[in-house]
Amino acid sequence: MFGIYLKRELGRRKKAALVIALGLALGIALVITVNSVSAGMTQAQDKVLKSLYGLGTDMTVTKARSAPTDNSSGRPNFEFDAKSNDSDETQSSDRVMTQGGQALKAALVAKVAKQDGVANAVGAITLNVTKVDGSFTQGKAQSTTGNSQSQGQGGPGGGNSTAAPQVQGGGASFDVNSYSVAGVDVTDQTLGPLAGMEITSGKTFTAAQTNAKVAVLSKSYAKENKYKVGKTLKISGTKYTIIGIATASSSESTTDVYLPLKQAQTLGDSKNKVTTIYVKATDSKQIDTVKATIQKNISGTTVTTSADLADTVSGSLSTASNLATSVGKWLSIAVLAAAFLVAALLTSSAVSRRVREFGTLKALGWPSRRVTRQVVGESMVNGLLGGALGIGLGLAAAYAVTAISPKLTAQLGNTGGGGGMGGGPGGGGPGQQSTQNTMEIALSAPVSLTTIALAVGLAVTGGLIAGAMGGWRASRMRPADALRSVS
C-alpha cells in the first residue's frame, strides 16, 4: 500500500518533485566539484614535492650553508690560456660546486638511520656544473706607410714614414652551460633523488656500480643535448658512459645527470660528504615526532618535512588551492544549506496544498505517524533523485576539469633554513636562498568513492530535512480541515 500510494503521488506531482530534486542536485554537484578539485590540488602539490625529494621520502636532513670567508667568495672562476700560435683552438673548463646546504659527513647517514622511528635513510650529494667552452681569435698586426712633411721625418722636402703597427680583428667567443648533478646511493635507489624517476631507455645503476664511471640522464636534458644510451658524457675531464635515460614519474625532473655517489663526491671534491640525507619514517603519522628526535640527537642540522616544504609552494597552484579550500568549501556549504531550505519549504508548501487529501486519510483512520511516514517517504525519493542528478552533474564537471587540464605554476621558495628539501635534486628551494624552482602542473579533478558516499549522504540528509518539515505539517492536520475544504 505504501509503495503504490507513493508511486501514484510522485507521478501526480512530477514537476514539484523535479524542482526539489534539481535544487538538491545543484548543491550536491557543487560539493562534488569542490572536493574533487581540492583533491586535484593536493595531488598537484604532491607532484611538486615528490619531484624534488623523491618518492617515499618523509623528510630530509641538511645543514645550513655557512657564510663565505674573505678568501673564498664562493663564486666560480675560470682560467684560460691565450695561445700565441695562429690557429684557433677550442678551450673548455668545468666548474663543479656543491649545491644546497653545507656538506655533512657521510657517517651521519648511519646515525640518522638508527634514530627511533626511522625506517631507512640514504645520503646524496647535489652538484652544479658550470661549463664554459669556446675559443680566442688572435688579431693581426698591420702597419701603414705614408708621406711626411715634418722636419724630423726625412728632412725638408718630405719623405716616406712608417706608422706604428695596429692590431685588427681578434677576440673571444665562449658559451656557458649550467646543469645539475646528483650523486645517488646505488645500493638503495628506493629512496633519494632517483626514487621518483622511471627508466625509459637503457637501465639504472646496479649495486656493484658504487664507483663506476656511468651516468643516468634525465630525458629532457638528454634530448636537449642529443645524448643517447651508450654515448659518453665528459665532466671536468672525466668521461662517463650513459647507461640510462630517465623520466620523472610525477612531473618534470629537476636534476639533469645522476652519478654513483662516490663518483659525484670525487667530482665535487667532497670525499665522504653528502649534502642531503633522505629519511623514511616507520609510521607516516609520527613524522613530527621523528623530526624532533633527529633535531635533538643530531645538533646543527635542519630537518624538513614535506609539510614544511608545502608551505613554501607559491604561484597559481597555491592561489587555486587556497580558493578551493576556503572560498570553494564555504560556497558549497552555503549553496547546500540553501538547497536544503528550498527543498524543505517546497515540501511544506506542497503539503499545505494537500489539506483535503491528508484530512480525508485521517478521517478514514490513518494515524498521524502514517501520514508523516508517507510525506517523509516522498521526500526521501526526491532526495535520492536529487542525489543521483547531483552525482551525475558533479562527475561531468570533474571530467570537464580533467579533460581541460588547466596548467598551474608552482614556485618553490626557500624555508629560510638554507638547507631543506631543496638541497636535494636541482638544488632549488630552501637549499639556496636566491633560487626558486618553477614547475607547470596539469590540474585534474579525481572523484573518490568517499566523495560519492558523501553525496549520497547529503541526498539522504536533504530528503530527511524536507520530509521532517513536511511531515510535521501534515501530522498537525485534522479531519475537520478536509471537511471544510469540500465544496
pLDDT bucket at 415, cuts 50 / 70 / 90: very low
- In this prediction, residues 418-440 reach a mean pLDDT of 43
- Average confidence score pLDDT of the chain: 76
149 vs 419, higher pLDDT: 149
* Pair 360, 477: CB distance under 8 Å: no
26 vs 42, higher pLDDT: 26
469 shares a domain with 342: yes
d(CA 64, CA 419): 5
- Output the pLDDT for position 192: 85
Q: Is residue 83 part of a domain?
A: no
By C-alpha distance, which of 210, 207, 251, 214 is closest to 233? Answer: 214
475 shares a domain with 340: yes
Q: Is residue 79 part of a domain?
A: no
By C-alpha distance, which of 452, 359, 471 is closest to 398? Answer: 452
356 shares a domain with 481: yes
Q: Is residue 157 part of a domain?
A: no
326 shares a domain with 296: no
Tens digit of each residue's pLDDT (9 = 90 or more) over 359-371: 777 777 777 777 7
Check pLDDT > 60 for residue 62.
yes
33-37, 54-58, 223-227, 422-426: the lowest-pLDDT one: 422-426
Contacts of 182 (CB under 8 A, 6+ apart): 124, 125, 126, 127, 193, 194, 255, 257, 258, 259, 264, 424, 425
From 300, 333, 361, the end of a domain falls on 300
d(CA 98, CA 96): 7
Contacts of 165 (CB under 8 A, 6+ apart): 141, 142, 143
- Output the pLDDT for position 427: 39
What is the number of domains present in the chain?
2
Tens digit of each residue's pLDDT (9 = 90 or more) over 113-151: 999 999 999 999 999 988 877 666 666 666 665 554 444
Check pLDDT > 50 for residue 435.
no
Q: Is residue 367 part of a domain?
A: yes
pLDDT bucket at 229, cuts 50 / 70 / 90: very high
Q: Is residue 249 part of a domain?
A: yes
- Output the pLDDT for position 376: 80
32 shares a domain with 96: no
Check pLDDT > 70 for residue 406.
yes
268 shares a domain with 194: yes
Highest mean pLDDT out of 5-9, 16-20, 83-87, 206-210? 206-210
Residue recorded with cell 640522464? 217
Tens digit of each residue's pLDDT (9 = 90 or more) over 250-299: 555 678 999 999 999 999 889 999 999 999 988 878 888 999 999 888 88
From 255, 275, 300, the end of a domain falls on 300
Measured on CA atoms in the order 340, 342, 343, 347, is the torsion positive or negative? Answer: positive
230 shares a domain with 272: yes
396 shares a domain with 478: yes
Q: Is residue 71 part of a domain?
A: no
433 vs 79, higher pLDDT: 79
- In this prediction, residues 433-461 reach a mean pLDDT of 75
From 242, 269, 300, the end of a domain falls on 300
- Output the pLDDT for position 477: 66
User: Within 13 Å and on the Cβ side, how many CA atoms surround 148?
Assistant: 13
d(CA 215, CA 181): 10
328 shares a domain with 226: no
Contacts 24+ apart (CB under 8 A), 47-50: 47/250, 47/251, 47/441, 48/251, 48/313, 48/317, 48/410, 48/412, 48/439, 48/441, 49/306, 49/309, 49/310, 49/313, 49/421, 50/196, 50/250, 50/251
Other Cβ atoms less than 10 A from the Cβ of 438: the count is: 12
d(CA 383, CA 51): 44
Q: Is residue 163 part of a domain?
A: no
Q: Is residue 77 part of a domain?
A: no
By C-alpha distance, which of 305, 300, 271 is closest to 288? Answer: 305
Stretch (H or E) spanning 409: strand 407-412
Tens digit of each residue's pLDDT (9 = 90 or more) over 346-390: 777 777 767 677 777 777 777 777 777 777 877 888 888 888 898
Contacts of 213 (CB under 8 A, 6+ apart): 238, 239, 240, 241, 263
226 shares a domain with 122: yes
Enter the DSSP assignment of 173. E
475 shares a domain with 399: yes
Residue 424 belongs to what domain range? 2-52+316-485
- Output the pLDDT for position 437: 56
225 shares a domain with 190: yes
